[in-house]
Amino acid sequence: MGMYPEYMVAPIREDLTSAGFEQLMTPEEVDQVLSEQEGTVLVAVNSVCGCAAAKARPALKMAVSSSEKRPDKLVTVFAGMEGEAVAKAREHMLPYPPSSPSIALFKNGELVHMIERYHIEGNDLIRIVDNLKGAFEDYC
């Protein structure tokens, strides 16, 4: 059971799933996707906070839709809801501390780029988009 009622988070989930992100609900799903040894995976740790709504989700959608290169898979976990899935994703994101929202790019099963909450809160939307597009260019 999550911290928030599902009716409240459903539209927040849909903000990313309607843009092509797959919602991972269990630690097993997270491990399966993030342990793949070929290709790139973008992981969005979604949340109900204002910086997720104003910056993280819009930046993710803009970067993915406007980049020539993009990750092979787009996935998301929801902080405060599927705690075990989020914890498993965060294990893969070590040594970075838990952060939500946050965005991680994996290539061939290894973390290659990380955007933590303070990178999101302290930046404008276009800088976050440019950061993501640069990472896509470098790793995808």
> What domains are defined for the chain?
6-139 (3.40.30.10)
Structure tokens at 137: 């260019």
Choice among 16, 33, 42, 51 that is catalytic: 51
pLDDT in the model for residue 1: 63
CB of 103 within 8 A of CB of 131? no
Type of residue at 34: L
Q: Quick check: is 49 catalytic?
A: yes
Q: Quick check: is 51 catalytic?
A: yes
- Note the maximum CA span of the chain: 39
Q: Is the pLDDT of residue 13 over 70?
A: yes
Phi, psi for 37 (deg, rounded to 5): -95, 0
Indicate the average pLDDT of the chain: 95
pLDDT-derived band at 51, boundaries 50, 70, 90? confident
Q: Is the pLDDT of residue 117 over 80?
A: yes
The count of C-alpha atoms lying within 13 angstroms of the C-alpha of 53, restricted to the half-sphere facing its C-beta, is 6
| Cα–Cα distances in angstroms (integers) from residue 55 to residues 38, 67, 95, 128, in the given order | 29, 17, 24, 8
CA dihedral for 46, 71, 108, 119, sign (positive or negative) = negative
Choice among 25, 49, 111, 112 that is catalytic: 49
> d(Cα 133, Cα 16) in Å, to the nearest integer?
17
Q: What digits encode the pLDDT tens for the residues 57-114?
A: 999 999 999 999 999 999 999 999 999 999 999 999 999 999 999 999 999 999 999 9
Q: What does the pLDDT average to over 10-29?
A: 96
> d(Cα 46, Cα 27) in Å, to the nearest integer?
16
> d(Cα 2, Cα 80) in Å, to the nearest integer?
6
